[in-house]
Each structure stands twice: as structure tokens, then as C-alpha cells.
Structure 1
Amino acid sequence: MIIISKVVALRPNLKTMLENSTILTKRSFYWGVWMLICLLYSTQSSAQDPRFSQFYANPLQLNPAMIGAFEGQFRFTANYRDLYGSILANKPYRTMTAGIEIKSPVARRDFATFAISAMRDRAGESNFQRTRLNIGGSFMKQLDGGRFGRNGQFLVVGAQLGAGQRSYNWNDLWFTEQFDANTASVNYGADSGEAFERASTNIFLDFNAGLLWYALFDENMSVYLGGSMHHLNNPSISLLDNPMEKLPTKYVIHGGAELPFNDNLSFMPAVAFLSQGTSMSTTVGGNFRYRNRDWKELAIRAGLWGHVANKLDSGVGIDALIFTTILEMERWNLGISYDVTTSILSVANNSRGAFELSLIYVHPGGSRQYRVECPNF
């Protein structure tokens, strides 16, 4: 974790704070608290991974064993998350991921899959950026069931090896030594009193591994359970040549099911528990999936989710409600979700949290050998 010993403020908000310094309202107080939390996020979140509300639509970031868990030969996934754009309109916390998987049969009922994925995000006024590139693979073993995995069980083991880097733009921050109390202004040319040796970390190696089990009972009935460990090697992420500042291992347990009401309507509950360092969070909820056979390969999902996390002081609480809609087409899935803030931060951002998009494309392949039944995640 990067600790800045001085009080830091952000440039674009200084003028507004000074012009309104004689008017202290409850809302401006919460705004100040909000900006402090944004600063803490940009300095402390360096030791944590970004989170996605549509975790089930971001398989390569959730669990390496999700590599290859699709019905086809080739899969492309892309995700975009915009956090707190209502407050930080110019520089919200933006996270983007993309991944490609290619699957190949290695035995009559087993498959091997190769994957490559990338993640990049940028947070707030300090332009804190994280970049990561992973290559990975998985092996899928059919434990029982019929041909193409009908009414069967599967076990998947996966791993990823990657490289990452993190960076800040220190020029976008100012420190107490640069503030002139006589003129109530900031002298950006003055010495900040901070010795920043570099603006980016060394490129570090990263290793992830995971397991996934799933069972199929019918076309619209399945269950799955998975677990993964990320950053097993605890790479150093220090900007200050501090060998003790390492990226803590992230532990993930996730599971879900599809439970049919009838031929057209089913319910898809799911949960994901994440623990990394001192941070713990759980996203739980479900989508209703409606499919009319007259629509052929078209289906629609809609659902509600809750995000529970440990608070800054103590205890746990629900900090967001997540509304989701997903459109399924023959080869495409397009998802959209919105996080409504329910914690005390809702006073500052009017409950407007994160906006998220997901896109999945699956190519079925030209041969029946690529056909293997998988759950609807």
C-alpha cells in the first residue's frame, strides 16, 4: 500500500472549495468526505484488484478455470466499467478488459483451451493506472454423462501467467508545502517536499490458478461451483523500491445455477465471494431468463443483485444494488448493469454508482467435435 505522509488535495477542486469556503452546508461536508475517500481509493486500491458487477460475464478475470467453459470453438469477451462518473465527470474510475479463447478437443470427451486476456484501468485525478496481460490455459475433463456432455459432470483446471505494471501521474497532485496560506492559493512550482523516484512500478510477473466443477441436468437446469487464487507469487508493486509492498493473494469462491420454472422461464442465481488483503466483498443475486421457442436463439435476462463489503471503519454492509439486463442472441450476449449506491456515499453521488457493459461472442466451430454442453453463466 502506498502511504503519502502529507495532506494531499486535487487541483480541479481547489478553486471551488475556496470560493465557497464561507458557506458550509451538509452537502459540501459530504463532498469533502467524498473527495477524501477518492484519494484513499487512489492510494490504497493499488493493493486490490478492480471489481466487476457482472462477474459472470467476465470469466477470464474471475477464475482461470472458466477458460474454455463455453459451447463452441472460439470465445471473445469484453467488459467496460465506469465508476463514479457522476462525481468525477472528467476522470472517473474506468476499467476495461478483453479476452480471447480457443478450444480444441484432446480426447473423445476432453478439451484443452488457450486464452489471452488484458486488463487496464485508470482511477481519478492522480491517473493511477493498472495494466495487466495474461496468457492462460485450461483442461476440461468430462466425469460422466452422455455424448457432448449431455446430463454430465465436468471438472476444469486452469492457470494464468501474466505481467503487470502500475503508474501514477504525480504532477496532477499538490501537497501542503505548495499551499500558500497568505494568498489561499497553490504554488505548483514550489517544492512539494516529496521525493518520488519514479512514476511507474517495475514490470512484475503474476500467477493465477483455479478449479471449476459443473453438472448439467437438462437444457435449462445446471449447477456450478468454482474457486480461484490470484497473485499466488505476491508480486512487488512498490513505486518506492519497498520490497515489503506486495500484491496480496486474492481468493475467489463463486457458484450458481439455472433453475427452470417451465420451458420458457428460468431463474439463474449466483454468488461471488472475494477476499484480498483486508478487503472482503460478496456479490449475490440472480437473473430471470425468458426464452420463447418462437424466438429461436433469442433470450433476455433481467435481475437484481446486491454487493456486500466490509466498511472503512468496521463491520459489513450493502453498499450497492445492481440492476442488470442481458440480451442473448445466437452467438452474442450483450449485458448492461447499473450500480445504485446505498451506503453513506449516496449523499455525495445521489446514489449514482457504476455503469457497466459486457459483450460475449462465441463461434460454434465447423465440426461437431467442438460441441460440449455448458451452463448458462
Structure 2
Amino acid sequence: MRRSIILLIVVCLGAHVVKAQVDPHFSQYYVYPAWLNPALTGAFDGDYRISGIYRSQWGNISSPFTTPGVAVDFTTNRNSSFGANVLNQTAGDGGYNYLTAYASYAYNGVRFGPQEYHRVVMGMQIGVIQRRFNRSKLSFGDQWNPITGYNPGATSAESFSRTSSTSFDAAAGILYYDAQPGKKLNLFGGFSVAHLTRPDDHFSASGNSRLPMRFTGHAGLRITLSDVLSLTPNILYLKQGTATEKMVGAYARLIAAPGTDVMLGANYRFKDALSPYVGFAHKNIVLGVSYDVNTSDLGKMANGSNSFEISLSFIGRRSVKTPEVEFVCPRL
């Protein structure tokens, strides 16, 4: 209990000093592309894709951060792709909840080079953000009696004008990738800006706090080492307010059997965590698992409070695939 209290105090103080990142984040960020960059909508080899991810963070505290997300996107034959995604984060004993729901669109008609394998995609995303908490689950200082101790039945003088906040939100992004099959090197990279509308971020009717925009740059290079083995180093840079996140990593993909691939790799988030990753792909299904080993001073104080992620993706096809549509996807 003492360790949990200390951890929460340090987190709160850190957020006050550096105005830390407020949005959820994932170590398997390419597995949940709708959250990374709306231009990744439809960037896969198929007709539709269903993706799910679950993250549990700071498991040593009594009510850790848990973040499940579900996304679906599909392609068309008119240089357009559409998608939708929902993410829901819960944390703490006070019933805090962060819910987002977005619809996304991407235009992929900008193509050049031999057989138009070099592609530039522009995407946008609109939706809502809802944040809320449960006042009945909170405890306050005036419920503490120096003689009898804490009395949850005592009435508190603390008051709130509202316990939920819902705001409109929008994002935009751009992506380049080299989709030509059979090459030794295939480059991809993108840039996105979230919270273009600067949504309200307060629970007071008279407050004026707003979510800062989130700027994300990401890139990778698929290196074909042999007919059965490839290596994909990747980088991520994220900035929101005064907080930044820098991540580098790589994963290897081995064709273990016809229709079955094995993926092994790791990402390193600077001054935060090392995240080993293992994945399996069988036909149209990809399963991935990662575990963040905290390397920061905060993690040491919390006795190694690490994080866990699991993801599952399914790519479907309504028609028979032809060699012309096989390309290198800019994702994990």
C-alpha cells in the first residue's frame, strides 16, 4: 500500500512539472495503426482488416491503467479507404475513464514510379473524446477523523460542477511507402497531428484547459535478407505539450512454414522501458505479445511495475488475390 501511494504521488508530481503526455500509447504501435496515423487506414494487402489490442500498465498499483482498443478498416477500388476505431482506457480507484471513437478516411491515389509502387497517402480522422470519473469512488481529506480514522460515510464538502467531459476531435496525417515486392530495401514513413481542434480537457464548467496537439513521426525499413527472412528496423518520435517519446527497435520475420511466419524483436523507449516482442502470423491472422520492462527511476521505485500488451489482427479478402496486389505493407 505504501509503495502504491508513493508511486501515485510521484506520477502526479511528474505530470505537474513536465505536463506529461496525456494520451494512451502502445509499444506495438504499428499493430494498431488507426491510433498512430490516419493515413495508415487501408494500408494492408487485402479488402478489410480487423485489429484489436489490449495494454495493462503499472500493474503494481491497486487499479492499474488498462487500455483495450478495436479498429476496422477496408479498402475500395476508388483510391479511398475507410475505417473506424474505439479505444477505452480506465485507471485508478476513482473510476477514471478515457473513451475515444473515430472515423477515418485515407486517399491513396498519389502513386509514381514503375508500376506505381511508390505511394503517398493522405488521411484524416474525426470523432469524439469522452473523459469521466465516478465521484462516489473518491475519498477526501475532510472524511478523515483524527480520532476514529477514515469514515467513507462522512459527507465531504468537495463539490464538482460536472464529472464528465465530451469534445469533438480531429486528426490528419501523411504517409509514404515503397510497396514494390522483390526488393532488398523497402522504406516507409509518415507524420501525423492529433487533436487539431484542441478539445476541452477539464471537468469544471468555468475551466479553459485544452488537450495539446500530439505530433507523431514514424518510419521503418524492411530489409530482405533471404527468401524466408526479413528484418525491419523502425523509429517513432512523439511530442505532446512538453512531453516527448522516442522509440527505436527492430523485428525479424521468418517464414517457418507455408502460410506461417514467426516474428521476434524488441523496441526501446528512451528513459522508460525495453519492450521485447514475439508474434505469429498464420494465413490471415497475426497474434502479437510484448512486455515492457521498465528501466526508469520511477519503475525502480515501484519495484519494477511493468506493462503487458497483446494484439490480434485479421485481414480478409472478398475476392481472389492476384500477384498485382501483393505489396509490402508499411506496418508490423
Give the TM-score, by structure 2 length: 0.91
- Structure 2 distance, partners of 1:160, 1:249, is 14
Q: For residue 104 of structure 1, what is the aligned residue in structure 2?
A: 76
1:84 to 58, 61, 70: 58
2:316 corresponds to which of 348, 363, 377: 363
Distance 1:47 1:302 in 2: 29
- Tell me if structure 2 keeps the 8 A contact 1:284–1:305: yes
Distance 1:248 1:193, change over 3 A: same
C-alpha change, 1:45 and 1:189, in structure 2 (3 Å) is farther
The 2-side partners of 1:97 and 1:180 are apart by: 42
Q: Counterpart of 2:28? A: 54
Matched, 1:121 2:89: yes
Aligned equivalent of 2:164: 200
- Kindly tell me the number of residue pairs found equivalent between the two proteins: 328
Q: Give the SS at the match of 2:9.
A: helix
Q: Does 1:272 align with 2:220?
A: no
1:297 to 259, 262, 265: 259
Summarize the Cα distance change of 1:139–1:376 in structure 2 as closer, same or farther, 3 Å threshold: closer
| RMSD over aligned Cα atoms | 2.4
Contact 1:47 1:247 in 2 (8 A): no
Bigger Cα Rg: 1
1:223–1:375 Cα contact (<8 Å) kept = no
Say if 1:333 and 1:376 are closer, same or farther in 2 by CA, change over 3 A: farther
Instruction: Give the partner amino acid of 1:256.
Output: G
Identical counterparts, % of pairs: 27
Do 2:20 and 2:243's aligned partners in 1 also have CA atoms closer than 8 Å?
A: no
Q: Deviations over 1:298-343 (max 9, x none)?
A: 11111121112xxxxxxxxx21110101111210111100001111
| Equivalent residue in structure 2 for 1:254, among 213, 218, 222 | 218
Mapped to 1, the partners of 2:189 and 2:15 lie a distance apart of 33
**In structure 1, what is the Cα distance between the partners aligned to 2:124 and 2:283?**
29
User: Match for 1:229 among 177, 181, 193?
Assistant: 193
* Equivalent residue, structure 1, for 2:227: 263
- CA–CA distance in structure 1, aligned partners of residues 65 and 20 of structure 2: 13
Matching residue of 1:6: none
1:46–1:357: structure 2 CA closer, same or farther, 3 Å change rule? same
Q: CA deviation at 1:367?
A: 4.7
Structure 1 47/342 Cα, relative in aligned 2: closer, same or farther at 3 Å? closer
Give the secondary-structure state (helix, strand or coil) at the position aligned to 2:136. helix
Unaligned ranges ≥5, structure 2: none
Gaps in structure 1 of 5+ consecutive residues? 1-12, 14-27, 309-317
Q: Sort the Cα spacing of 1:96 and 1:299 in 2 relative to 1 into closer, same or farther, 3 A.
A: same
Are 1:84 and 1:352, in contact at CA under 8 Å, matched by a contact in 2?
A: yes
What is the alpha-carbon distance in structure 2 between the residues aligned to residue 353 and residue 303 of structure 1? 18
Q: 1:40 deviation in Å?
A: 5.9
> For residue 311 of structure 1, what is the aligned residue in structure 2?
none
**Alignment TM-score, normalising by the size of structure 1:** 0.81
Give the superposition deviation at 1:368: 5.0
**Per-residue deviation, residues 110-143 of structure 1 (Å, max 9, x unmatched):** x211111111110111221011111111111252
Task: Assess if the C-alpha contact under 8 Å between 2:43 and 2:330 holds in 1.
Answer: no
**1:57 is paired with a residue of what secondary structure?**
coil
> Cα 1:366–1:123, aligned 2, differ >3 Å: closer, same or farther?
same
